[in-house]
Amino acid sequence: MSTATPKHFRTPLAKVRGRGAARSGTEDFWLQRVTSVAGIPLTVMAIVIGILLLGRNQAAAAQILGSPAVAIIMILFIISTIVHMKIGMQEILVDYVPGESAKLTLLLANTFFCWAVGLASVFGILKLSFGL
């Protein structure tokens, strides 16, 4: 009885690159981790900004949110959160939705939803900053 080495279907180049069959798993994995780490200080700053807004009237809140430093922090927070949310929901849909047509429909809906929420949020911050 001889011990045969297991045969792998991945090419040596694929093994070196570390990508799976989807060709994007590693990228999504690292982007999910980067947005997680970036989200920690950005969330703390967003909470501090939210606390500063408590009890203020609309004009004072618009003035605080319209300052350049606060606007940049909030835009970075929005982008990081939206990207993290999109990848997380995409992984859930890919793993747990049966049927290719339902999966494709929900993945498209996820993408459109994330873009809509992200653009509306960034537009709101820019409107406060520049008075568009």
b (16+ CB within 10 A) / e for 42-76: beebbeebeeeeeeeeeeebeeebbeeebbebbbb
| Domain span including residue 53 | 23-130
> If you average pLDDT over residues 111-121, what whole number do you get?
98
Q: Is residue 5 part of a domain?
A: no
- Positive or negative CA dihedral for 103, 107, 108, 112? positive
- Positive or negative CA dihedral for 23, 88, 47, 130? positive
Percent of the chain whose predicted confidence (pLDDT) is above 90: 70
DSSP conformation class of 54? T
Q: What digits encode the pLDDT tens for the residues 42-61?
A: 999 999 999 999 999 989 99
> If you average pLDDT over residues 118-123, what whole number do you get?
97
Q: Is residue 46 part of a domain?
A: yes
Number of domains in the chain: 1
> If you average pLDDT over residues 98-124, what whole number do you get?
96
Q: Is residue 75 part of a domain?
A: yes
Instruction: Give me the CATH number covering residue 82.
Output: 1.20.1300.10
Q: Is residue 1 part of a domain?
A: no
Q: pTM to 2 decimals?
A: 0.78
C-alpha to C-alpha distance for 120 and 39, rounded to whole angstroms? 20
Q: Is residue 61 part of a domain?
A: yes
Q: Is residue 38 part of a domain?
A: yes
**Residue 10 pLDDT more than 80?**
no
DSSP conformation class of 67? S
Q: Is residue 43 part of a domain?
A: yes
Question: Which residue blocks in the chain are alpha helix, DSSP H?
Answer: 12-17, 25-53, 58-66, 68-96, 100-130
- Under the banding of pLDDT at 50, 70 and 90, the label for residue 26 is confident
Q: What digits encode the pLDDT tens for the residues 56-104?
A: 998 999 899 989 999 999 999 999 999 999 999 999 999 999 999 999 9
